[in-house]
Structure 1
């Protein structure tokens, strides 16, 4: 059995909580608002043809994954799959000669910070050099290395590391 003061205190606490909750409840309005009519917007409707030509969204949509190239462990060489992706990028960049791009070099989590920054830089420069060899003006392309600081896959396994060994091309408006 509980002492009488514990039972009374518990009951009072329960009643106080119920009263506090009921005080917060919203009361129904006297009159309901009208049914919503057709939506009117001041923003233009999205284009049925997709993203605005020459935008970053257009670049990503047209590349269909070819905005990123991947590397083997401790490598910065451009293989045939990378060449095909970079050729697509070069065609897009030549279609929009006023657009600039930044190539971001990345590495997986293994290795020191300094080593991975240098490796990311070599990867970004390899991609840039290939684009230049295809006729893209070098002054339109910047490079940056993030090393292992911006992984796209967070696992510590070969599948994740393979996704993180990459160079990503981002267009600049």
Structure 2
């Protein structure tokens, strides 16, 4: 006579434990390196550098010119800003498929709404100047962070001056 196999909770638990142990993997002896900026090797020199056209390449070529600064409550593009934006336009012209976002920022003074509007004017002023230099407006977007993303902490003129800015960030 055939005795039916009992299937109770203990058998289900045993089956589940076996299934999980079959899927378990051992931790690697060494973790992979943290992801870094995109780099490539120059075949001629064998040196490493950013991938041409990448955000890392943009930042390296700009040498600080990816950011322009504004006076208090202002959004006009002055002569120093024009030089920086001309350098950005040259890079963007070299990579016509590349798009960019221009971020508008403010210092901590003023209301949230006021600073969001001022940050938008700053980002648009930079965008409009790049467009005047021949960059297609469709490649450029703007965003205002107002006072929400300060680069310098502190409640003094030095910190405020660093936070009144528009930053160009390339998009893949």
Q: TM-score range by the shorter chain?
A: 0.7 to 0.9
**Residue 49 of structure 2: SS of its match in structure 1?**
coil
Runs of 4+ that moved beyond 3 A: none
Sort the Cα spacing of 1:156 and 1:46 in 2 relative to 1 into closer, same or farther, 3 A.
Answer: same
Q: Which residue of 1 aligns with 2:89?
A: 90
Q: What are the superposed Cα offsets for residues 62-118 of structure 1, whole Å, 9 maximum, x if unpaired? A: 000000000000000000000000000000000000000000000000000000000
State how far apart, in whole Å, the 2-side matches of 1:97 and 1:164 are: 30
- Equivalent pairs counted in the alignment come to 130
Q: Which residue of 2 aligns with 1:118?
A: 117
Shift of 1:46: 5.4
**What does 1:1-173 align with in structure 2 at a 5 Å threshold?**
47=41, 48-173=47-172
Gapped regions of structure 1 (runs ≥ 5): 1-44
So what's the TM-score if we normalise by structure 1?
0.73
Sort the Cα spacing of 1:46 and 1:107 in 2 relative to 1 into closer, same or farther, 3 A.
Answer: same
**Residue 86 of structure 2: SS of its match in structure 1?**
helix
Gapped regions of structure 2 (runs ≥ 5): 1-38, 42-46
Shift of 1:50: 1.2
So what's the TM-score if we normalise by structure 2?
0.74
Say whether the 8 Å CA contact 2:105–2:163 is kept in structure 1.
Answer: yes
